[in-house]
């Protein structure tokens, strides 16, 4: 047991050792200062030239968002058609069929949005062409989109007053050439050497001891698995995601994958502080997020290592903790740590079955995705946190008797309106989505869909409710992990989660960038003794309280009916 815990602690420390210098490096990269990777400049200039981009052209926040949305819509259209017609396109050695329009709709939104909710299985649902040139491509560009959006926010606060927020294309290209691509190459090599396939051959075959012929899927997996973690995407090459022995062969690769998914989100926070020359603010934000992570992780560890009380009642000793749905090569501690990370960050890859975790673990997983701002996804985590920050700034500004201001810019009605809409969006999408599915399940169980609503849930009752709540929450958070146990490949779930993912992705990018743009253009007010500083412990506490209370108030009834009801019932 102790070795298991040491493994987690070591993983976390190693994460910091990599992420913190990476953050300082990123601040320099995006500020255009000299860094050792400048030898890549000719490559970047080539890309700009090829695409007709003039990176000297400064954009305001509206132009930034226009560029961001335009390119994303282009990818949506491109990917949608490839998914539908993949059976007619090359690189399909296993002869997998084209997707139905509703599944293609869901899948393409899911990958463009960095969500990677998968209603298909990689082995049978997509071709190698799709894996490489749609899904993996999108894993790069969607992560770069989030990072570039965050850099726009950085730019708004670097100078005293500015409307010139840099060039979106430059941030976007640099996020790939200076960050995602080099790190992915390193990681893909590590995975390949540890047994993850990277070939383009079709299924392999062997005859098992029992004499059955077994087909084993493989393909260009290592490269995809690298970016799936680095870019906090989470969409696996194989259906079982990182629980699959090819995706995650050993404890070492498990550590690498756990580290990879957090380093960029943490680095972005550090980069923020160094970029706007307010290091203390970055450390304060990092502190709040890390405490948040621990508050979700420690109870998760304790409930998973504690074993299943239902089994304990039967007199079965569970010295190794709750092992149902876990891989023996990782054990419950590493799986618990992963499950917290993957929900706190919006990765959504899994190395075990979330459906099998203890009810309280499910609660923490859900809560982590509802908050979606403790580190959070690549770039977007910080954007989500920024909304909480604005609300905290506003309320605490009033509490100290001064018109609220953030980094020297007054926060007024217009910014609050945007922040309020974004705050409102998550409860709306999550609760309304769950309500619609509950309603359909309860009242239209016999609807003639691919999977009849009454057959959606593996486990009706509280756990079934959690399955639906999880699916919707994961979509809104652009997390993409599944609780599983839900019959989700049908028109209803494909369309519902597709719409939720789309709104849950782009509105929370537009909102914070707009607020930052508006604030950055406002007159800069120098700090005085009456100014509320946002890099103090007290303000950190305030932000933490805002995050906790807002989420608790929005989701308490839903959580009470799902995981809490299950937990208390199990105790009886």
Partner 1 sequence: MKPNNKLFEPALVQTALKQSFIKLDPRVMVRNPVMFTVEVGTLVMAYVTVYSFSHSGQGSPLYNFFIFLVLLLTVLFANFAEAIAEARGKAQADSLRKTREETPAKVLLANGTIEIRSSNQLKKGDVFVCETGDTIPTDGEIIEGIATIDESAITGESAPVIRESGGDKSSVTGGTKVLSDEIKVQVSTAPGESFLDKMIALVEGASRQKTPNEIALTILLASFTLVFIIVCVTLKPFADYANTPITIAALISLFVCLIPTTIGGLLSAIGIAGMDRALRANVITKSGKAVETAGDIDVLLLDKTGTITIGNRKATNFYPTAGVVIKDFTDACVLSSLADETPEGKSIIELANEQGFKNPGTPQGSAFIKFTAETRSSGLDTADGRRIRKGAFDSIRNIVEKAGNIFPSDIEDHVKSIATNGGTPLVVSENEKALGVIELQDIIKPGISERFERLRKMGVKTVMVTGDNPLTAKYIAEKAGVDDFIAEAKPEDKMNYIKDEQALGKLVAMMGDGTNDAPALAQADVGVAMNSGTQAAKEAGNMVDLDNDPTKLIEIVEIGKQLLITRGTLTTFSIANDVAKYFAIVPALFIASIPALQSLNIMGLHTPESAIMSAVIFNAIIIPILIPLALKGVAYKPIGATALLRRNLFIYGIGGVVAPFIGIKLIDLVVGLFV
Q: Are 277 and 158 a contacting pair, CB within 8 Å?
A: yes
User: Which of 306, 354, 208, 290 is CA-nearest to residue 571?
Assistant: 306
Residue 277 as a binder of partner 1 (CB under 8 A): the answer is no
Check residue 166 and give left, alpha or beta (phi > 0: left; psi -120 to 50: alpha): left
Return the bridge partners of 406, or none: 409
What does the alpha-carbon distance between residue 85 and residue 66 come to, in Å, rounded to a whole number?
Answer: 29
Residue 541 as a binder of partner 1 (CB under 8 A): the answer is yes
Residue 432 as a binder of partner 1 (CB under 8 A): the answer is yes
Residue 462 as a binder of partner 1 (CB under 8 A): the answer is yes
Note the maximum CA span of the chain. Answer: 80
- Count of CB atoms situated within 10 Å of the CB of 447: 15
Cα angle, residue 20 at apex, residues 223 and 513 outer, rounded to 5° = 80
Sequence-ordered list of residues with C-beta below 8 angstroms from that of 20, at least 6 positions apart, any chain? 266, 267, 270
Q: Which of 40, 81, 427, 451 binds partner 1 (CB under 8 A)?
A: 427
Q: What is the DSSP code (8-state) at residue 568?
A: H
Which of 328/413 has CB closer to partner 1? 413
Which of 90/401 has CB closer to partner 1? 401
- CA within 13 Å, CB half, 510: 17
What does the alpha-carbon distance between residue 205 and residue 215 come to, in Å, rounded to a whole number?
Answer: 5
User: Which of 407, 363, 422, 406 is CA-nearest to residue 566?
Assistant: 363
Residue 554 as a binder of partner 1 (CB under 8 A): the answer is yes
Residue 532 as a binder of partner 1 (CB under 8 A): the answer is yes
Closest approach of partner 1 to the CB of residue 400, in Å: 4
Which of 76/416 has CB closer to partner 1? 416
- CA atoms 434, 440, 445, 446: torsion sign: negative
What does the alpha-carbon distance between residue 492 and residue 500 come to, in Å, rounded to a whole number?
Answer: 12
Site string for partner 1, 467-506 (x = CB under 8 A): ----------------------------------------
Residue 531 as a binder of partner 1 (CB under 8 A): the answer is yes
Residue 551 as a binder of partner 1 (CB under 8 A): the answer is no
Closest approach of partner 1 to the CB of residue 429, in Å: 10
Site string for partner 1, 375-404 (x = CB under 8 A): ----------------x--xxxxxxxxxxx
- Count of CB atoms situated within 10 Å of the CB of 341: 26
Residue 6 as a binder of partner 1 (CB under 8 A): the answer is no
Q: Which of 95, 443, 445, 455 binds partner 1 (CB under 8 A)?
A: 443
Site string for partner 1, 407-426 (x = CB under 8 A): -x--xxx--xx-xxx-xx--
Which of 49/417 has CB closer to partner 1? 417
Residue 526 as a binder of partner 1 (CB under 8 A): the answer is yes
What does the alpha-carbon distance between residue 403 and residue 419 come to, in Å, rounded to a whole number?
Answer: 16
Closest approach of partner 1 to the CB of residue 393, in Å: 11
Which of 320/531 has CB closer to partner 1? 531
Residue 90 as a binder of partner 1 (CB under 8 A): the answer is no
Q: Are 485 and 493 a contacting pair, CB within 8 Å?
A: no
Residue 439 as a binder of partner 1 (CB under 8 A): the answer is yes
Residues at the site binding partner 1, with contacts judged by CB under 8 A:
391, 394-404, 408, 411-413, 416-417, 419-421, 423-424, 427-428, 431-432, 434-436, 438-439, 441-443, 462, 465, 523-526, 528-533, 536, 538-539, 541-542, 545, 549, 552-554, 556-558, 560-561, 564-565, 568-569, 571-572
């Amino acid at each position: 047991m102790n070795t298991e815990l040491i493994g987690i602690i070591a993983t976390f420390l190693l994460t910091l050792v990599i992420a913190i210098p990476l953050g300082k490096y990123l601040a320099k990269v995006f500020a255009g200062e000299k860094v050792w990777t400048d030898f890549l400049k000719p490559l970047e200039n080539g890309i700009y030239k090829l695409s007709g981009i003039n990176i000297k052209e400064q954009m305001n926040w509206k132009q930034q968002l226009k560029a961001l949305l335009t390119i994303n819509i282009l990818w949506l259209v491109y990917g949608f058609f490839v998914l539908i017609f993949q059976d007619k396109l090359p690189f399909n050695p296993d002869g997998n069929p084209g997707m139905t329009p509703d599944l293609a709709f869901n899948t393409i939104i899911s990958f463009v949005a960095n969500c990677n909710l998968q209603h298909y299985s990689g082995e049978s649902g997509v071709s190698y062409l799709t894996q490489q040139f749609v899904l993996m491509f999108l894993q790069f560009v969607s992560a770069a989109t989030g990072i570039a959006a965050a850099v726009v926010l950085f730019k708004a606060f670097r100078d005293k007053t500015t409307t010139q927020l840099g060039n979106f294309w430059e941030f976007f290209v640099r996020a790939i050439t200076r960050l995602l691509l080099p790190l992915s190459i390193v990681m893909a090599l590590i995975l390949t050497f540890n047994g993850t396939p990277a070939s383009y051959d079709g299924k392999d075959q062997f005859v098992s001891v029992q004499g059955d012929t077994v087909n084993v899927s493989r393909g260009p997996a290592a490269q995809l698995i690298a970016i799936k973690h680095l870019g906090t995407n989470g969409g696996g090459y194989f259906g079982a995601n990182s629980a699959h022995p090819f995706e995650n062969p050993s404890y070492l690769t498990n550590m690498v994958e756990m580290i990879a998914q957090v380093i960029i989100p943490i680095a972005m926070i550090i980069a923020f502080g160094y970029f706007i020359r307010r290091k203390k603010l970055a450390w304060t934000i990092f502190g709040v997020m890390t405490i948040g992570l621990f508050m979700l992780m420690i109870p998760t560890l304790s409930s998973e290592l504690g074993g299943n009380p239902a089994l304990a009642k039967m007199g079965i000793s569970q010295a190794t903790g709750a092992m149902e749905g876990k891989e023996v090569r990782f054990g419950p501690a590493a799986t618990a740590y992963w499950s917290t990370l993957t929900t706190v960050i919006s990765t959504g890859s899994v190395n075990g079955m979330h459906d099998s975790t203890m009810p309280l673990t499910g609660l923490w997983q859900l809560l982590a995705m509802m908050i979606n701002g403790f580190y959070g996804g690549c770039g977007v985590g910080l954007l989500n946190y920024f909304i909480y920050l604005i609300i905290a700034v506003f309320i605490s500004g009033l509490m100290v008797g001064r018109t609220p201001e953030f980094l020297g810019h007054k926060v007024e009605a217009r910014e609050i309106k945007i922040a309020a809409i974004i705050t409102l969006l998550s409860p709306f999408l999550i609760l309304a989505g769950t309500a619609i599915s509950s309603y359909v399940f309860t009242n239209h169980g016999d609807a003639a869909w691919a999977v009849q609503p009454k057959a959606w849930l593996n486990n009706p009752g509280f756990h079934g409710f959690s399955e639906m709540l999880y699916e919707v929450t994961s979509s809104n958070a652009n997390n993409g992990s599944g609780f599983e146990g839900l019959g989700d490949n049908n028109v209803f779930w494909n369309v519902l989660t597709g719409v939720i993912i789309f709104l849950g992705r782009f509105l929370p990018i537009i909102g914070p960038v707009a607020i930052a743009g508006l604030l950055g253009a406002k007159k800069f007010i120098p700090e005085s003794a009456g100014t509320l500083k946002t890099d103090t412990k007290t303000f950190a506490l305030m932000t933490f309280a805002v995050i906790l209370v807002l989420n608790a108030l929005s989701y308490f009834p839903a959580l009470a009916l799902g995981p809490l009801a299950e937990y208390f019932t199990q105790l009886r």
